[in-house]
Every structure is written in C-alpha cells, then in structure tokens.
Chain A
Amino acid sequence: KQEVTQIPAALSVPEGENLVLNCSFTDSAIYNLQWFRQDPGKGLTSLLLIQSSQREQTSGRLNASLDKSSGRSTLYIAASQPGDSATYLCAVRPNNNAGNMLTFGGGTRLMVKP
C-alpha cells in the first residue's frame, strides 16, 4: 500500500527565506505527483503537477523536483512571503489497478513571519 510522508509537519520561517518542503512515498510506481496549497478551512489549490517521466516543474517562485526511484519530491519556495503561509500537501497517483486515485501526505503547515 502506498504511503506518503511529509517532513516537517510544521515550519516557521522569517520572511525572505528560501525553504524546502519534503515529500516521500514508499512505492515508486507512480504516474504523477501533485503539490497543493490549502488555506485554513478552504479547498486545495493545485500548485504543480510533475509527471513520472519529469524531473522538475517550475511556477514563479515555486520549484518542485521528483526523484521517482528514491521515492522523493521537494517543493522549493524562493524568497518566502507572509502570503505563502498555508498548509502544503503532496499527493501521488499510484500506478496500480486500484483506480489510480490520489494518495495524500499529511501536509506541512508553513508560517512565514513578517
């Protein structure tokens, strides 16, 4: 069974810092990995989608990498801002016969202090 883990569970940084959020998964047989942002009590906003054949994706100050063989992905946030404060979730789409549904990690709660 695929398990997804995110470390750290919570992170507090001063504004302007570059930071890295980590996501690991136990089964490397995946189709893709998606990073989401969730504000308190709100829905999920898709940030980046990395297909299994890709190594990284970039959007603005965000860069996500994928090392499928080692079961790891990182989300790099450059020059963090207070508006980046949210919970960040990674989710993998397994390559199996169980419908290929997204499996989520527990999330990293990020606080960026002014």
Chain B
Amino acid sequence: DTEVTQTPKHLVMGMTNKKSLKCEQHMGHRAMYWYKQKAKKPPELMFVYSYEKLSINESVPSRFSPECPNSSLLNLHLHALQPEDSALYLCASSQDVGRWTEAFFGQGTRLTVV
C-alpha cells in the first residue's frame, strides 16, 4: 500500500472561517510534508514533519497551522485565509527525511477561499 489519503477533496471557505485539511498514511513513514500548488506551477514546500516534530517551516504565514498528532496523521489548520491562498494543497510522505527516500503524494485538497 503506497497510498496517502487526503480529505476533503474539495473545500470552499470564507475568509473568516476556520477549517482543517487532513492527511493520513499507513506505510509507516516518519516524514510528512505539506505542499501548495498554484495552477500550472510546480508544488512549493510549506512544512516538513520528521518523527512528529516540525523540522521545516518555509516561512509560511501563521494563518496556516500544521499539526502532527501521530506518525500516521498530518493536519493543516486554516484560519483567516485570503483569496490568494486558493490552491491545491498536497500532502506527501516518505520513509524519513533521509537522502535515499522516495516521496509519495496524496490526491490533494482543492481549496477555494471566497
């Protein structure tokens, strides 16, 4: 099983809403990632969790708040977003952050901020 599952698939939220994106993997991977992808652009790294600890934050605004409750789950809490935050949010995992690891991606959550 090389599956990374993201929910919901689509999300529309207002600028004053609070919502969460969820990501789950059961491959025993200890590194999990959030990426943001705008239309016709490559994915951009947002956060990296290694062994349930935040190891990289790519200067992401505080309106995005990641959480890793356990080794299988990764959440992204959203609050007071802007329309320009509308994008495809991708979760990925790998065995660890080591040099030889292969990354596996979920199907993404299409977020629209209105």
Residue of B43, B45, B90 most packed against chain A (CB within 10 A): B43
- Bound CA span A61–B100, Å: 24
Bits for A4-28, please: 1 = Cβ < 8 Å to B, else 0: 0000000000000000000000000
- Bound CA span A107–B104, Å: 17
Given A43-B107, A100-B99, A89–B42 Cβ distance below 8 Å? yes
Residues in chain B near residue A42, CB distance under 8 A: 107-108
Given A31-B99, A106-B42, A101–B104 Cβ distance below 8 Å? no
Residues in chain A near residue B97, CB distance under 8 A: 99-101
Residues in chain B near residue A105, CB distance under 8 A: 42
A41 with B100: CB separation less than 8 A: no
Name the interface size band of chain B: 20 to 34
Residues in chain A near residue B92, CB distance under 8 A: 44
Residues in chain A near residue B48, CB distance under 8 A: 99, 101
Give min CB distance, A82 to chain B, whole Å.
21
Residues in chain B near residue A43, CB distance under 8 A: 4, 6, 90, 105-108
Which residue of chain A is the closest to B43 with respect to CB atoms? A104
Task: Name the 9 nearest CB pairs between A and B, nearest first.
Answer: A104-B42, A31-B99, A44-B105, A43-B107, A43-B108, A49-B102, A43-B105, A99-B56, A43-B106
Report which A residues bind B (CB closer than 8 A): 31-32, 34, 36, 41-46, 49, 51, 89, 91, 93, 95, 99-102, 104-107
Beyond contacts A42-B108, A100-B97: 13 other A-B pairs, Cβ-Cβ < 8 A, are A31-B100, A34-B102, A41-B110, A43-B4, A43-B90, A43-B105, A43-B107, A46-B105, A49-B102, A51-B100, A101-B48, A104-B42, A106-B41
